[in-house]
Structure 1
Amino acid sequence: MPTETIAGTTVAVNDEGFFEHPEQWTPEMATELARQEGIGELTPKHWQVIEFMRKEYAEKGTGPTVRVLGKTSGVSVKELYQLFPKGPAKVAAKIAGIPKPRGCI
């Protein structure tokens, strides 16, 4: 199993760089992961999505799709694509330290 050092902590990741153990994630890691994804400073809207992703994963065992994010996170689909241009659900899940949501390529 590959590992990656993020914000000074070594974590287990899969071949695509998603956390194998979401409980290893810290908010400090989110900042570094966002930079790796080409996102500058995380705004309150970014954090709203990240926290929503983690909550959904904790409750349902999977991250939400873009459609669900747009309907229930309080951030519109249009805003999601502005915040996470390379793919909102996939990139937000990676930054949130959860596995890639079902249905993401």
Structure 2
Amino acid sequence: MPVTTLAGHQVHVNEEGFLTDPAEWSRDLAVTLAGQIGIELTDAHWKVLEFLRSDFAERGETATLRRVSAVGGVPVKALFALFPQKPAKKMAYIAGLPKPIGCV
């Protein structure tokens, strides 16, 4: 696994830049990851990221867009506004989690 330095910390990433060890994630790192894809995190973003990380800890897989909407309580339309274009991929990337199953 490649290792890169982000926000002053060495982290393990895959070929697409996703963290391979969710335990290496931090809020500071999330801000850096979001900035790399042009997103400035707000309280609404943090709500989604915290849900994703909590859900991943319980289930062992990254929640899909539908799950974030249905269980996390954030409408799909809002997710597209917060994480434009490919929200599921961007949410997982910033949250330090694997891409959701079925995400290209």
What TM-score, normalized to structure 1?
A: 0.94
Give 1:73 shift. 1.2
- Give structure 1 regions of 4+ aligned residues with deviation exceeding 6 angstroms: none
Q: Which residue is equivalent to 2:103?
A: 104
Hey, what's the Cα distance between the residues in 2 that align with 1:83 and 1:3? 28
Distance between the aligned counterparts of 1:51 and 1:17, measured in 2? 20
Root mean square deviation, CA, Å? 0.9
Aligned length: 104
Unaligned runs of 5+ in 2: none
User: Is the Cα contact below 8 Å between 1:65 and 1:89 reproduced in 2?
Assistant: yes
Structure 1 match to 2:12 = 12
TM-score of the aligned structures, taking structure 2 as reference length: 0.95
Following superposition of structure 1 onto structure 2, how do residues 50-89 of structure 1 map, counting pairs within 5 Å? 50-89=49-88
> Which residue of structure 2 lines up, in the alignment, with residue 23 of structure 1?
23
Correspondence for 1:47:
46
Give the match's secondary structure for 1:5.
strand
Name structure 1 gaps, 5 residues minimum. none
Q: Which amino acid counterpart does residue 96 of structure 1 have in structure 2?
A: A
Identical residues among aligned pairs (%) = 50
